[in-house]
Structure 1
Amino acid sequence: MVFAIEEINNSTELLPGIRLGYQIYDSCASVPVAVHMAFQFLNSFDPVFSTDNNCSHSGMVMAVVGGSGSTTSISLSQVISSFNIPQVSHFSTCACLSDKQQYPSFFRTVPSDQIQAEALAKLVKHFGWTWIGAVRSDSDYGNNGMASFLKAAHKEGICVEYSVSFYRTDPQSRIQRVADVIRRSKAVVVVAFASFGDMKILLKELTSHEPSPPRQWIGSESWVTNPELTRFSFCAGAIGFGIPKSIIPGLRDFLLKLSPSQVASSQILTEFWEDAFNCTLTKNATAKKKVCDGNEDIQNLQNQSTDKSQLRVTNMVYKAVYAVAHAIHNAVCQEINGTAKCDKLTKLESKQILIELKKVNFSRNGYEVSFDANGDPVAIYELANWQKSENGATEIVAVGLYDASRPVGQEFQIDKNITWMEGSMKVPVSVCTDSCPPGTRKVLQKGKPICCYDCTACPEGEISNSTDSTDCLPCQKEFWPNAKRDTCIPKPVEYLSFQDLLGIILATFSVLGACLTIVIAAVFFCHRKTPIVRANNSERRKKKGEKENELVL
C-alpha cells in the first residue's frame, strides 16, 4: 500500500500536485479491534482548510483499504457506511458483502466467493467426482462460501458425504474430531473452504496422529496458493483456485531498501528483521539470539517475504489503492488539452469518492480495474496445482485459468498436466457407487443420497444403452435384446426347406390333405343323386320347395 501511494504521489498524470496521506491500523483479525480502530479514525480527525498555503489539508478519512478478512470487513463496513466512507477490500471474499442494502459503501478488488463456489462445483463435476467431503472455517468466509458451494454442487448432481466446520481457536478435541471424520470417510476428494490460519491447524492435526489415508484436496483461494502450507507433503496434488499471479515493477527494490534507522523505528520491521536474521536489535540480547551487528544484508535474504514470484493478494492491495486514487482524481481533476488540472482548494467529502468509485475503469500494469453494481470486479481465477519438483519440494504451479466472463461451458482453460495425490497422473475416482454399465439401470438405495445406488439388470425384452441409465427401454416388435441387453437386434427369420425333416413332414401332410379333399369331392359328385348325398342337402332343398309353393299360390 505504501509503495502504491508513493508511486501516485510521484506521478505527473494521476493527481498531479496532490499528495495522498495514509494511516495504517492492525485489526489483528479481531472484530472488536477492527471496530475500535474504526471509531478511532472516525473521531480523531477534524477537517482543516488553509488558504495561506494554497492547498487544503484534510484529516478526514476519504476511504479505507481493507480489511483482510470477511468477518472484520463486515463489522468495519457496518460502522463506516453510515458516514458514506467507501471501503475497498483486497481479500474479503464473502458473497454476503455484495448486498448493497447492507453494505452500500463496500467495494473489493478480489472476486466474490459466490463465483468461486460455482467454479469449484464445476471443477468437481469436470473431473467426474460425485462423492466428496466438505470442510470449512466456522466464520463468515467459510460458512457463506461453503453454503454457496453446496448449493452449486447440488445443481451439478454432486453428493456430500459430510460437511464439518471448525475454527482455529476451537478446543483441540473438536479439531481432532474433524480430522477423524476425514480419515474414516469413504470420499477421496475433500473440498476445503477454509482460511489459511484454520487450514494450517487442521493439517497439523492430520499429521500429528495416525497417518491419514490419501486424499485429493480441493482448496479455496485463501490457502491453496499459500507457499507456507506446501510443507505438508501429504497434500501434494492439491488443486484449487487462486488469485492470478502478477508483476508489480519496482516493488521488490522498494521493499529491499530498508535502512537500519527505518527498521529500528518500526516495531513491525524490527520483529521481521530479528526473525529473518535470527538476531536481536535490542541491547538486552537473550542467550538464544545474538545481537545484530549491522552486516545483515536483506538483498541476499531468501524467504517468503523477499520472494515476489507469487504476488497475488499483494496485487489486490495495489489495485485497491489505485482505485481510490482514480476516484479522487475524477472528483478534483479535469482534463484540459490532454493535461490533468487538479483543484487543490476543493473541499472533498467521502461521499464524492463513494460516487466516483462506482464509475472507475482503468488499467494499470496490464491489470483492468472496474466494479459492477455490487462493487465486485470481473472474476478471473488461476487454477493452481501442488506439484513435486525434482528436488522433492512442493511447488505451486499454474495449470490453467477460470474466467467467469466467458460463455457458459468455456470458462475453463487447462493448458498444463495436473499432478494428483500421491504423484499420480491419473484422475482419482471418488464416487459412492461405481457407474452402472449399459444393460443395467440404477436403483436408489433406501435412505441414502442419489449418488448411492444399486445396478440392476434390465428385465426381459428391455435394454439400456448408456452408462448410469435410470430406465430400461423395450425393443420394437421385430427386435429383441442381445445377451448383454445393451442394444436391440432384429429377430432372425428362418425358412423351411424340402430337405429338412420338418419340411418333408409338413409337405407330406399338406399333399395328403389336398388329395383326401379331392377324393371326397369326387365321391360326392359321382353319387350326387343318391339318397345319402341328397339328404345332406335336405335343408336347402326344403327351402327351395317352399319358395316354389309360394309362387304357385
Structure 2
Amino acid sequence: MRAHKESHLLICVGLFLFSFSSYLSSTGPLYCKSQRQFNLNGLHKFGDVILGGIFKMNLYTASSELFFTSGPQHPMCFGFDPVGFRQAQTMAFAVEEINRNSKLLPNISLGYHLYDSCSNLGISLRAALSMTSGRGEPFQLNESCNGKPPVLGIVGDTSSTRTIAISSIVSYFATCSCLSNRRLFPSFFRTIPSDAFQVRAILQILRRFNWTWFGLLISDDDYGLHAARSFQSGLAQNGGGCLAYLEVLPWGKDEEVLKRIVGIMEKSTSRVVIAFAHQSNMLHLMEEVVRQKMTGLQWIASEAWTTAIVLQTPSYMPFLAGTLGICKFITPGMEFEGKTKERLCTGNESLRNIETEFLDLSNLRSEYNVYKAVYALAHALHDILQCVPGSGPFQGQSCLVYQLQRVNFTTYFGDQVSFDESGDALPIYDVINWMWHSDGSTEVKNVGEVNELASKIDNLNLDEDKIFWNFEPKKVCLQSTYLCSESCPPGTRMARKKGEPVCCFDCIRCSEGEVSNKKDSTKCTSCPEEFWSNRQRDHCVPKSMEFLSYFEPLGISLTTASLSGTLLCTIVFGIFTYHRTTPVVRANNSELSFLILLSLKLCFLCSLLFIGQPRLSTCQLRQAAFGISFVLCVSCILVKTMVVLAVFKASKPGGAGSLKWFGVMQQRGTVVFLTLIQAAICTTWLISSSPTPHKNTQYYKDKIIVECVVGSTVGFGLLLGYIGLLAILSFLLAFLARNLPDNFNEAKFITFSMLVFCAVWIAFIPAYINSPGKYADAVEVFAILASSFGLLLALFGPKCYIIILKPEKNTKKAIMGRGTTRS
C-alpha cells in the first residue's frame, strides 16, 4: 500500500508540472521547458525518431534528508543490476538491428534515450518527464504548445507500480491486471501477459493436482495486491479450493514481520504456498525459512520470481526444489559482444567462456519482451509512414496508438506478436520446474504449457513424468489433498467454523425440500413447488401424488363395500321380482319399493366416483350423482310414508276421500318433482362454480394432495341441506305412523332407517371438515355406503327374511289375521 500511495502522489506532482509548464509557455515565448534539471544516468543514441526506455540498472537509491530550508538533493544510485543492464542493452541491440533492416523503416534511423530507474518510483517519473519534455532543454512548439515530443514512445518499466505512474507506451515486465483498463490507460500496451491470465494458469495447475488448501503470499505493491484480488475472484468463480492464509511480504528485511509470516506458514495444515512476489521479497523470506528450517512445502511461483537465479543456490534448494512456476521460457540466443566487451572484458578473453550473471543467456525472458516491445513500436511507426495523407482514420500522422493496436508480426525466432483489445500480449505460458540434481546443481526446466488461446476449457498441457518433486515419496505431493476440512459431498452445505480459516467448515445436511448437487456448496437450493428432495438431498424429484386410489388398502376396502352393496341391491331386486305377487312384496306399494332399490344401487355405484385420481369430469359428476341418487331414494321413502298415513286415515269412517290424493300418478309425480329440485340445484352449482381438481401443497411438504375443490360451498350446502330436509320430514312422518294398527306396519322400519340415515350424515359433517385430502373423500364414501346399507337393511331386510325364511307368513291371511288379533 505504501508504494501504491507513493505512485498516486507522484502522478499528481507530474500533472502539476505539466500544467504549470503549459501555463508558462502560453504566457511567454513559444518554448516549453522543464522547471528543474534532473540528474539522470542513461545511454543515448541520436536518430530521426527517438524511442525511450526505463530500466533498473542500479539496485537501490539513497536520498538526502529534508529540512524544508532548501530544495531536495538529487538521489544517488548504488549497486549494479546485471539483468536490468542486460535489458537496456537488448533495447539498444534491437534498435541497431532495425536500423540495419532495409525493409523495416527504410530511410529512417531510430535512436534511443535509455534511463536508469534505480528501482525507485520517483526516478522513473523524473525519467519519463525528461523524455517527454526534451531532457530539460527548450524545444520549440506551435502556438497551441502541442508539437511533436522528442520521444515517440517509452519502453518500461520493470515494476507495475512504476509503470502505472509513468503510463508508458509499451511495457516489458508490468503484469498488473489493472493496466488492462482501457479507460484509465488508453495508450498502454505490454509484451508480457496480464496477471489475470497468470492467475488462471495457476488455478489450472492447482486443479490438476487436486490442491485445494493453500496459502497465498503477495508483495506490498500494485502487482501483489491486484494479483491477490484476481486470485480470490478466480477461486470464488471456479471453486475447487480456498485460502488457509493470505500474508503481505515486506519490502525490506523486517525480521519481526518475516518471522510472524513463517510462523503462520509452519502452524498451518496447508503445504502448498503460492507467492505473487518479487525476487527481493522472496530472498528476505527464504532467509527466515532457512533459519527456521521449514521444509515440506510445495511452492507455486508467480512470473516475477519463477526464474530468479539468486534463489537457485545450494542453501535455498532444499526448501525450494520442486517449485512449479509459470512464465514465457525463452532462450532465443541473442548476443551482445559488441556492446559489452569494453565494459566487462580486457579484450583478451572470450566472452563465451566467461561465467557471469550478465552473460548468462540460459533464459532471456524479460530481455525478449524488451526486444518485442521495440519491434512493436517500429512496426507501428512503419505502418504510420505507409498511410496515404487524407485516407487514414486520423488527421496528420498522430495514429501511433491506433497502429500499435493493429500490430501483428512474427519475430525472427518464430513468435507471433500482437495485442488484444486491452493492449495485452498473447496469453501463452510455459510451466517450469526447479530441479535439484544429485551433484548439487540446479536446473529450471520446461515441463508444460498453458495456452489461453486454445478453444478447450482446460488448456493445461503438462508432462508430469518430467516433474521433480522435493518429497519422499513423490506421491505425497501428487495425491494428497491439503484441507482443513474434508470436502462436503452433494446433499450437504458448508458451514464455516467461527474463528477459523475459511476452509475450516462443517458439512451440514440439507433440510427437507432443499438440495445441493455439487461438492462444497455454500448453500442448499429449495426445490420447485411440485418437487421435493430425494433421500440423498442431491437432486429434486417430483412430489408423490396422493389421492384415494383403487390400489391402496383403504380404496380397495371401500370399492369392495360399494360393489357388495350394488350386488346386494341386485339380489334383493331379483328376490322381489321373483316374489312380486306375494303379499309381502305387494303390501304398501311395490312400485316404490323397486324404485328405492334402483336408487340405492345408484347410491352404491356413485361412491366409486370418489375413488381414483380426481379429474374435471369426475369432480363434476360425483357430487351431482350423489345428490340426485339420494334425493330419489329419500323422496320415494317420503312418498311411501305418506301413503301409509293416507291408508290408515282412509280406514276410518269418512276418510276414504284421502286416498284420491295418493294415487299411482300422484306418487310418481311427487317423486319426480322432488328429484327435479335437486337436479336444478346441481345444474346451477355446476354452471356457476363447478368443482375442479386441485393440487394442494399446503397439507404436506413432501407430497401433493390431489383433491376436488367444491367450488361453491353454498351449492354444496344446498345439496346436502335438501337431502337432510327430505330425510327429516320422512323421519317425522314415519315416527308418527310407527304405532298404527297393521299386520305389517312398514312405518317402524322407515323410522329406523331414517334414524340411521340422519345419524350418519350428522356425524359426516365435522368428520369431513377435519379430514385432509384423500381422507375427506374416504369419509364421504363411508357416509354414502353406511347410509345406503342402513336403508337397504332396515327397509328390505325384514321382508327378505319373511320371503326366504318364513314363507308361511307371506300370506294374506297371515297378514290380515295379525291385524285382527291386535284389534
Q: TM-score if structure 2 supplies the norm length?
A: 0.47
Is the CA contact (8 Å cut-off) linking 1:132 and 1:189 kept in structure 2? yes
Q: CA deviation at 1:185?
A: 1.4
Partner residue in 1 for 2:379: 326
After superposition, the Cα gap between the structure-2 partners of 1:259 and 1:398, relative to the gap in structure 1 and judged at 3 Å, is: closer
- What is the identity, as a one-letter code, of the residue corresponding to 2:474? M
Q: Is the 8 A contact 2:159 2:174 kept in 1?
A: yes
Q: Within the alignment, does 1:165 sit opposite 2:255 as a pair?
A: no
Report the counterpart of residue 247 of structure 1 in structure 2.
332
Task: Report the CA distance between 1:36 and its aligned residue.
Answer: 1.4
Of 444, 448, 453, the match for 1:396: 444
1:355 paired residue among 399, 402, 407: 402
> Residues of 2 paired with 1:129 and 1:150: CA distance?
15
Distance 2:92 2:298 in 1: 39
- Alpha carbons of 1:406 and 1:75: their partners in 2 closer, same or farther (altered >3 Å)? same
1:87 to 152, 157, 169: 169
Inter-partner Cα distance in structure 2 for 1:442 and 1:3: 60
Q: 1:39 to 1:439 in 2, by over 3 A?
A: closer
Change in Cα spacing, 1:66 to 1:436, as seen in structure 2 (3 Å) is closer
Residue 269 of structure 2 corresponds to residue 186 of structure 1: yes
The answer for the alignment partner of 1:282 in structure 2 is none
What pairs with 1:198-213 in structure 2 (closer than 5 Å)?
198-207=281-290, 209-213=291-295
Letter in 2 for 1:113: D
Question: CA 1:439 to 1:27, structure 2 compared with 1: closer, same or farther past 3 Å?
Answer: closer
Q: Using the TM superposition, give the Cα deviation of residue 220 of structure 1 relative to its aligned residue in structure 2, in angstroms.
A: 0.4
1:311 maps onto 2:364 in alignment: yes
SS for the counterpart of 2:292 is coil
Find out whether 1:419 has 2:468 as its counterpart: yes
Letter in 1 for 2:461: Q
Contact 2:275 2:301 in 1 (8 A): yes
- 1:386 corresponds to which letter in structure 2? W
Q: Measure, in 2, the Cα distance between the counterparts of 1:163 and 1:172.
A: 18
| Matched residue SS, 2:446 | strand
Deviations 1:15-40 (A, max 9, x none): 11211010111112221111111222
1:21 aligns with 2:74: no
Residue 301 of structure 1: which of 339, 351, 354 is its match? 354
Is contact 2:485-2:506 (8 Å) kept? no
Q: Is residue 409 of structure 1 aligned with residue 457 of structure 2? A: yes
Equivalent residues in 2 for 1:125-524, closer than 5 Å = 125-155=207-237, 156-169=239-252, 171-207=254-290, 209-231=291-313, 232-233=316-317, 234-248=319-333, 251-252=334-335, 254-255=336-337, 258-260=340-342, 263=343, 273=344, 295-333=348-386, 351-365=398-412, 366-417=414-465, 418-422=467-471, 424-426=473-475, 427=478, 429-433=480-484, 435=486, 444=495, 446-447=497-498, 451-453=503-505, 474=535
Would the aligned equivalents of 1:237 and 1:423 in 2 still touch at CA under 8 Å? no
1: CA distance between counterparts of 2:517 and 2:400?
Answer: 63
Structure 1 residue identity aligned to 2:469 = W
- In the other structure, the counterpart of 2:150 is 60
**Could you say if the C-alpha distance between residues 308 and 454 of structure 1 is closer, same or farther in structure 2, counting changes exceeding 3 Å?**
same
- Structure 1 letter corresponding to 2:359: T
2:204 is matched with which residue: 122, 136, 139? 122
* Kept in 2: contact 1:183–1:213 (CA 8 A): no
Alpha carbons 1:379, 1:403 under 8 Å: kept: yes
SS at structure 1 position matched to 2:456: coil
Q: Take 2:149 and 2:331, find their aligned partners in 1: how far apart are those partners?
A: 33
Deviation by residue 1:145-186 (Cα, 9 ceiling, x = unmatched): 111011112332311010000232263311222222112211
Flag the structure with higher helix content.
2
C-alpha distance in 2 between matches for 1:449 and 1:416 = 31
Ranges in structure 1 where 5+ consecutive residues have no aligned partner:
50-57, 78-85, 264-272, 278-292, 336-346, 459-463, 476-536
What is the alpha-carbon root mean square deviation over aligned residues?
A: 3.7
Instruction: Indicate conservation of the 8 Å contact 2:488/2:494, yes or no.
Output: no
SS at match of 2:300: strand
Q: Does 1:548 align with 2:810?
A: yes
Change (3 A) 1:96 1:180: same
**1:109–1:319: 8 Å Cα contact kept in structure 2?**
yes
Task: Check the 8 A contact 1:436/1:469 in 2, yes or no.
Answer: no
TM-score w.r.t. the length of structure 1 is: 0.69
Determine whether 1:4 maps to 2:97. no
1:269 is matched with none
SS at match of 1:22: strand
Question: What is the CA–CA distance in structure 2 between the aligned matches of 1:465 and 1:100, rounded to whole Å?
Answer: 39
SS of equivalent residue, structure 1 residue 305: coil
Structure 2 unaligned runs (5+)? 1-90, 142-147, 389-394, 511-515, 525-532, 537-796, 817-823
Q: Relative to 1, partners in 2 of residues 1:456 and 1:66: Cα closer, same or farther, differing over 3 Å?
A: closer
1:435/1:467 contact within 8 Å kept: no
- State the number of aligned residues: 427
Q: Could you give the per-residue CA deviations for residues 376-433 of structure 1, whole angstroms, max 9, x where no partner exists?
A: 1110000011112242222111000000011233311113521223365321524225
CA distance in 1 between partners of 2:489 and 2:220 (Å): 43
Cα contact 1:166–1:175 (8 A) shared by 2: yes
Instruction: Describe the shift of the 1:215–1:428 C-alpha distance in structure 2 as closer, same or farther (beyond 3 A).
Output: farther
1:43 aligns with 2:133: yes
* Cα 1:436–1:88 shift into 2, 3 Å: closer
- Choose 1 or 2 for highest CA Rg: 2
Contact 2:326 2:431 in 1 (8 A): yes
Structure 1 residue 348: Cα displacement? 8.3
What secondary structure does 2:448 align onto?
strand
User: Once the 2 structures are TM-superposed, how far is the Cα of residue 101 of structure 1 from its aligned partner?
Assistant: 0.8
CA contact (8 A) 2:220 2:250 kept: yes
Q: Which SS does the other structure have where 1:421 is aligned? A: coil
Change (3 A) 1:356 1:541: closer
Judged with a 3 Å threshold, the aligned counterparts in structure 2 of structure 1 residues 259 and 469 are, in CA distance, closer, same or farther, namely: closer
- Aligned counterpart, 1:103: 185
State the distance in 1 between where 2:152 and 2:329 align. 29
The alpha-carbon deviation at position 473 of structure 1 amounts to 5.9
Contact 1:90–1:317 at 8 Å: present in 2 too?
A: yes
Residue 386 and residue 256 in structure 1: after superposition, are their counterparts in 2 closer, same or farther (change >3 A)?
farther
Cα shift readout 1:442-468 (whole Å, capped 9, x = no counterpart): 87563356744568999xxxxx99998
Structure 2: distance between partners of 1:63 and 1:219: 32
Aligned residue identity for 1:425: K
* Aligned counterparts of 1:364 and 1:171: Cα–Cα separation in 2: 44
Checking the alignment, whether the CA contact within 8 Å between 2:170 and 2:188 is kept in structure 1 is yes
- Tell me the SS of whatever aligns to 1:165: strand
Per the alignment, do residues 542 and 117 of structure 1 end up closer, same or farther by CA in structure 2, a change over 3 Å counting?
Answer: same
Q: Mean Cα displacement is larger for which, 119-128 or 394-403?
A: 119-128
CA distance, structure 2, for counterparts of residue 16 and residue 119 of structure 1: 41
Contact 1:188–1:430 (Cα < 8 Å) also in 2: no
**Contact preservation (8 Å) 1:109, 1:320:** yes
% identical aligned pairs: 33
Query: For residue 70 of structure 1, what is the aligned residue in structure 2?
Result: 160
Report if aligned partners of 1:137, 1:167 keep a CA contact under 8 Å in 2: yes
Q: Which has the higher contact order (CA 8 A, sep 6+)?
A: 1
3-state DSSP class of the match of 1:21? strand
Distance 1:47 1:439 in 2: 71
Question: Which segment is superposed worse, 118-127 or 446-455?
Answer: 446-455
**Contact 1:189/1:215, CA 8 A, preserved across alignment:** yes
CA distance in 1, matches of 2:487, 2:165: 51
